[in-house]
Amino acid sequence: MDSTAGTAELALLLEVAGTPTPGNVDRERDLPALSFEQFLAGATGARPGFRRAAEGGPFGEAFEEAIRGMAACAGTNTQFGAILLLTPLVRAAGTGALTPDRARKQVETAGVEGAVGFYRAFDHVAVNVPPPPADVPDVRQGSDAIATLRDRELSLSAVLTPAADRGGIATELLTGFDRTFEMAADLGATDAPLSRAVPAVQLRALETAPDPLIVTAHDAETAQWVQQRAATLAPPPGAADIDLPAVRSFARTLVDRGINPGTTADLVAGGLFVALEREEVTLQ
């Protein structure tokens, strides 16, 4: 169990160690009020919650524990989305086979208490989320929404459903982790050290779809512009050779404009976990 939790933590560390990952914190680039060191600390803080998930503990409690630990150690929100993506993957891996079906089942069976833990997690950090849909409580209410969740018997799946079509973490959790497992396969097929494979996979992921966090924080046009720029920089599948000056210049542009493709980073962390668990990548 501890090794599964350790692998989840290592996935967070390897994601932030990969460089350059344009627009995201990496080992060569901090963002304003968000440092590489805080990401290291956030990863160590999430681990007890991951262990809880790996042991088959209640989904909602494990997730909230991971977020609480992350926030306590990092002092801010560093990896909320990645931890939400990793929790069902870790719970699946810790209690049986790590398959998309079993990961999805962890979400389906999380129930109302899964939703309660999910909302409680928002007590610990500020998270950039889209305006709330009419049919579920605003996540920014945090634990103030718990009575409503229980009264209306809203499950984790139910509260994530309004975001299912956004292509973000909710989509992964509800529809079977397609992009996460694709990224794991991409990482496994890329013949390069992980520090170079991670940026290559991130660029290919940015090319594949607009980043939902960019849509939320800016707009669809900005996300599409990033997607188009990434398409000119992403190496073909299996390759990791990138035009380093051009990618670094792209990274500077994104930071200057405050554009952060954070959901893509979350997906890469999820892909790293799957690839590490299946021993499809090595560290040498």
Least distance (Å) between residue 284 CB and its own copies: 7
What is the residue-wise DSSP string for 219-277?
Answer: -HHHHHHHHHHHHHHPPPTT-----HHHHHHHHHHHHHTT---HHHHHHHHHHHHHHHH
Q: Pick between residue 73 and residue 158 the one whose CB is nearest to its own copies.
A: 73
Rounded least distance, CB 67 to its own copies, Å: 15
What is the rounded distance in angstroms from the CA atom of residue 167 to the CA atom of residue 150?
27
Smaller CB separation from its own copies, 42 or 167: 42
B/e letters for 180-218, b = 16+ CB within 10 Å, e = fewer, are: bbbbbbbbbebebebebbbbbbbbbbbbbbbbbbbbbbb
From the list 194, 234, 255, 269, which residue makes contact with its own copies (rule: CB under 8 A)?
194
Residue 187: CB minimum distance to its own copies, A: 13
Instruction: For residue 47, state whether it binds its own copies (rule: CB under 8 A).
Output: yes
Closest CA to 128 of 81, 64, 62, 180: 81
Q: How far apart (Å, rounded) are the C-alpha atoms in residues 140 and 145?
A: 9
- Count of chain residues binding its own copies (CB under 8 A): 33
Map residue 16 onto helix, strand or coil. helix
Nearest-approach distance from CB 228 to its own copies, in angstroms: 31
With CB under 8 A as the contact rule, the residue among 24, 36, 117, 169 that binds its own copies is: 36
Residue with Cβ nearer its own copies (155 or 202) = 202
* Cα–Cα dist 8/160, whole Å: 22
* Rounded Cα gap, residues 78 and 52, in angstroms: 20
Contacts with its own copies in 69-128 (CB under 8 A)?
A: 69, 72-75
Smallest distance, its own copies to C-beta of residue 101, A: 28
188 lines the binding site for its own copies (CB under 8 A): no
**Separation between Cα atoms, residue 53 and residue 50, nearest integer Å:** 5
Helical H runs in 75-219? Answer: 80-95, 100-108, 111-121, 146-151, 156-160, 169-175, 178-189, 194-208, 212-217
Taking CB under 8 A as the criterion, the residue among 20, 21, 40, 275 binding its own copies is 40
Q: Going residue by residue from 221 to 260, which x/- string records binding to its own copies, judged by CB under 8 A?
A: ----------------------------------------
Q: Which of 99, 195, 222, 227 binds its own copies (CB under 8 A)?
A: 195
The nearest distance, CB 82 to its own copies, in angstroms, is 15
Query: Applying CB under 8 A, which residues contact its own copies?
Result: 2-3, 6-7, 9-10, 13-14, 17, 27-28, 33, 35-38, 40-41, 44-45, 47-48, 69, 72-75, 193-195, 282-284
